[in-house]
């Protein structure tokens, strides 16, 4: 997006963590370079078996490197630090913008679109998010259009008209397209009912019922 500038170069904690990690790598690299450069010369200078001339030459080289190497290291650290801030700014800035737009979308604002600077990174990720938000917004706009005939038609106690039923069916179809799991659930076959028992096993003859009802225990008979 042209003409868009950020006011801060340090945007979030993520950028601070990235810069701290880069600083740690830089410090380890400088320490390794210093040890590999000056350790042999220092050992030569304190070597008792080395001649005075060799120790003097090692000391001269040590001082020369000390005067030339560390200023170059400081300039390099300064340049790398500035470049690291700018580079992480081009990465964390779009991430921060995408995060803010996703929060707006989570509150129901699907018309929001992510715009980042031309020199920033993560353009493809921002385009994918915009495509997702546009698709969701179009789905909900279609649902609103389909639900428009229902406004004013839903009266308590009145049966639904044919137009209302058709609108409801269209809304359900669109909901299935938005959430594929609903369509999968609807496609699952209902469980088959248990097999019915044979009629012969549950038939009881009327004669047997009458015989059982006519029999009265002797204790209950009145004289």
Say if residue 17 is in the same domain as residue 113: yes
Position 178 scores a pLDDT of 61
Say if residue 125 is in the same domain as residue 97: no
Say if residue 112 is in the same domain as residue 150: no
**Is residue 210 one of the residues assigned to a domain?**
no
Say if residue 105 is in the same domain as residue 125: no
**Is residue 40 one of the residues assigned to a domain?**
yes
Say if residue 102 is in the same domain as residue 125: no
pLDDT band at 206 (very low <50, low <70, confident <90, very high): very low
DSSP letter (8 states) at residue 120: S
**Is residue 196 one of the residues assigned to a domain?**
no
Distance (Å, whole) CA 145 – CA 106: 22
**Is residue 46 one of the residues assigned to a domain?**
yes
Taking Cα atoms as reference points, which of 80, 115, 87 lies closest to residue 15? 87
pLDDT at 149 over 60: yes
**Is residue 162 one of the residues assigned to a domain?**
yes
Q: Which range is least confidently modeled, 94-98, 141-145, 164-168, 203-207? A: 203-207
Say if residue 111 is in the same domain as residue 127: no
Q: What share of the chain is helix, strand, coil (3-state, %, to 5)?
A: 70, 0, 30
Query: Phi and psi dihedrals of 190, rounded to 5?
Result: -70, 145
Domain extent, residue 129, equals: 121-187
**Is residue 212 one of the residues assigned to a domain?**
no
Say if residue 60 is in the same domain as residue 152: no
**Is residue 201 one of the residues assigned to a domain?**
no
Position 203 scores a pLDDT of 46
Domain count across the chain: 2
The structure tokens 């400088």 sit at 30
Taking Cα atoms as reference points, which of 94, 126, 114 lies closest to residue 11? 94
Say if residue 41 is in the same domain as residue 70: yes
DSSP letter (8 states) at residue 51: -
Say if residue 86 is in the same domain as residue 161: no
Say if residue 132 is in the same domain as residue 54: no
């Amino acid at each position: 997006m042209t003409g868009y500038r950020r006011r801060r170069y340090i945007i979030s904690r993520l950028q601070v963590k990235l810069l701290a990690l880069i600083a740690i790598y830089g410090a380890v690299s400088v320490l390794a370079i210093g040890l590999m450069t000056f350790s042999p010369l220092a050992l030569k200078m304190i070597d008792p078996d080395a001649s005075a001339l060799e120790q003097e030459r090692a000391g001269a080289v040590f001082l020369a490197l000390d005067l030339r190497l560390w200023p170059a290291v400081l300039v390099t650290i300064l340049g790398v630090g500035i470049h690291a801030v700018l580079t992480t700014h081009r990465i964390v800035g779009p991430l921060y913008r995408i995060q803010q737009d996703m929060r707006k979308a989570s509150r129901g604002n699907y018309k929001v679109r992510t715009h980042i600077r031309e020199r920033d990174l993560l353009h493809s990720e921002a385009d994918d998010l915009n495509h997702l938000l546009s698709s969701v917004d179009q789905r909900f706009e279609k649902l609103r259009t389909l639900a428009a005939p229902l406004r004013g038609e839903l009266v308590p106690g009145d049966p639904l008209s044919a137009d209302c039923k058709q609108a409801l069916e269209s809304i359900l179809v669109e909901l299935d397209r938005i959430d594929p799991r609903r369509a999968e659930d609807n496609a699952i076959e209902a469980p088959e009912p248990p097999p019915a028992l044979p009629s012969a096993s549950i038939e009881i003859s009327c004669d047997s019922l009458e015989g059982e009802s006519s029999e009265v225990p002797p204790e209950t008979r009145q004289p």
